Amino acid sequence: MLLSSLICATLIFGAESRFIEPKPKPSRNPVVPGVVFDRFITIWLENINFASASSDPNFAALTKQGIQLTNYFAVTHPSEPNYVASVGGDYFGMNNDNLHRIPANISSIVDLLEEKGISWGEYQEDMPETGFQGFQQLAPSGANDYVRKHNPLIIFDSVANFSSRADKIKNFTLFEQDLAENKIPQWSFITPNMTNDGHDTNITFASTWARGFLEPLLKNPHFNGEKTLILLTFDENGSSDPHNRVDSVLLGTAVPRELIGTQDTAFYTHYSEIATVEANWGLHTLGRFDVGANVFSLVAKHTRDVIRKLDVNQAFLNISYPGPFNTAPSGNYAVPNTKLTVNGRRVLPKVVETWGSAHLQRCALYDGALLPPSGLNPPVIPEGC
């Protein structure tokens, strides 16, 4: 009796392990609670200097409803490396907007979120179909509409090559549908088209769009439900700012009432976006520039992450350091530092498995510094790496 039930259990177990393919945790999971927010939504506009954005009346009207981050910096030029950095913790030397594919052995924020069962998605305006991998989509008039360079996660083969992941990269038609069905994921990246985001227009146009898009959504519980944090930012400066400072605003129900209309002067970069999400949900890290970045103080205060200080006059994040995606390619994909920890957060086990051998770790270049490198201050790569 005992023996036969053991055999039976073994057979069932055997059948399961043979026929059920591994899947990420189901997206119908209950909401995974975070320390300060249960939902994070970021919306990216294009190419505007801090001064032009902060003096624009519509942008100022949005800013008054949240926290203005007055020392938030893009990490290089042009667009694509900034988008990539915000989800991957590095841009691998990219200094152009070419059609890149980041190899599948390089992890992104998606691996960190899925490990904890946190739902995620992107909404890319005018992308012609879900999971589209093409370079661009023009409007019938010939105007720019959708561009791959503003779609950070499709650039990672660790996302694009798996339909269960690529299917989470949708357009605004499906945004409207997900919104109506209360299915906006817990982590979302939103990219308006090249007219609305200011790329082919200007701050007046982009801020009018942003206000028209966001103000109704701020009142919609399917978007700005309980404990929602929204980051509205720009990919890079607009003209002649060697520091590459951009105006950024935190909005949503996760912003405490007493902080509405205030400024946060701490030093942040696009890497702070990942660091904040990691701290809020107690995620693993990527072992890249995400580890050293400051966590937004409204979260750091509760997670006890230390906000480090920096003389922002020393930050010139205006040119890319070398690497495989540079127009003059050099070197290999940077090796994450699998031994880094920050406030108890360790590097994702899968990253350690891929990159943690002593042979590769000799080449790790990340040291947890607060100021990421730039072309003026490139990372020191050990001989033979």
Least distance in Å: CB of 186 to ligand NAG?
A: 22
**x/- string (CB under 6 A) for ligand NAG, residues 70-89?**
-------x------------
Confirm or reject binding of residue 313 to ligand NAG (CB under 6 A). Answer: no
What's phi and psi for 214, nearest 5 deg?
-80, -40
Are the C-beta atoms of 23 and 164 separated by less than 8 Å? yes
Q: CB of 279: closest distance to ligand NAG in angstroms?
A: 27
- How does 252-288 read in b/e, with b if 16+ C-beta sit within 10 Å? bbbbeeeeeeeebebbbbbbbbbbbbbbbbebbbbbb
In 109-186, the DSSP E strands lie at: 120-124, 136-138, 144-147, 169-170
Candidates 31, 32, 166, 174; binder of ligand NAG (CB under 6 A) is 174
Which of 43, 154, 61, 176 shows the shortest CA–CA distance to 108? Answer: 154
Q: Which residue has the tokens 């990527």?
A: 286
Out of 71, 76, 95, 195, name the contact with ligand NAG by CB under 6 A: 195
Q: Choose, by CB under 6 A, the member of 297, 318, 320, 338 that binds ligand NAG.
A: 318
Interface residues for ligand NAG in 348-377 (CB under 6 A)?
Answer: 354-355, 360, 376
Is the preceding omega at residue 78 within 30 degrees of 0, hence cis? Answer: yes
Round to whole Å and give the CA distance between 52 and 57: 10
For residue 126, what are its two tokens?
């005018």
Q: Give the Å distances, CA to CA, from 186 to 28, 40, 92, 121, 250.
A: 11, 6, 27, 8, 16
Known catalytic residue at 247: no
Contact string (CB under 6 A) for ligand NAG, positions 116-135, x = contact: ---------xx-xxx-----
Which 37-76 residues touch ligand NAG, going by CB under 6 A? 47
Minimum distance, C-beta of residue 26 to ligand NAG, in the bound complex (Å): 22
Mark the segment that binds ligand NAG (CB under 6 A) among 10-18, 102-110, 247-255, 342-350: 102-110
Bridge partners, residue 69, by sequence:
248, 264
Choose one: 60-68, 113-121, 191-199, 298-306; the region binding ligand NAG (CB under 6 A).
191-199
82: DSSP letter: H
Rounded to a whole number of angstroms, the minimum distance from the CB of residue 136 to ligand NAG is 12
Using CB under 6 A, which of the segments 200-208, 284-292, 293-301, 341-349 binds ligand NAG? Answer: 200-208
CB of 162 to ligand NAG, least distance (A): 9
Q: Residue 156 contacts by C-beta under 8 Å, 6 or more apart in sequence?
A: 87, 88, 102, 104, 106, 108, 110
Nearer Cβ to ligand NAG (206/275)? 206
List the x/- string, 133-162, binding to ligand NAG by CB under 6 A: ------x---x-x-----------x---x-
- CA–CA dist 180, 194 (Å, integer): 25
For 181, other C-beta atoms within 10 Å of its C-beta total 9
Of residues 273 through 292, those in contact with ligand NAG by CB under 6 A are none
316 binds ligand NAG (CB under 6 A): yes
Chain-centre distance for alpha carbon 188: 9
> Of the candidates 181, 240, 258, 383, which one interacts with ligand NAG according to CB under 6 A?
240
CB nearer to ligand NAG: give 59 or 296.
59
Residues near ligand NAG (CB under 6 A), total:
40
Complex with ligand NAG: residue 6 or 138, whichever CB lies closer: 138
For ligand NAG, the closer CB: 206 or 254: 206
Positions of E strands within 135-279: 136-138, 144-147, 169-170, 187-191, 228-234, 245-251, 263-264, 268-269
- Indicate the pairing of strand 169-170 with strand 144-147: unpaired
How far apart CA 92 and CA 334 sit, in angstroms, is 7
Q: Which residues belong to the active site?
A: 200
Q: Which residues bind ligand NAG (CB under 6 A)?
A: 47, 77, 101, 103-105, 125-126, 128-130, 139, 143, 145, 157, 161, 171, 173-174, 193, 195-196, 201-202, 204-205, 236-242, 316, 318-319, 354-355, 360, 376
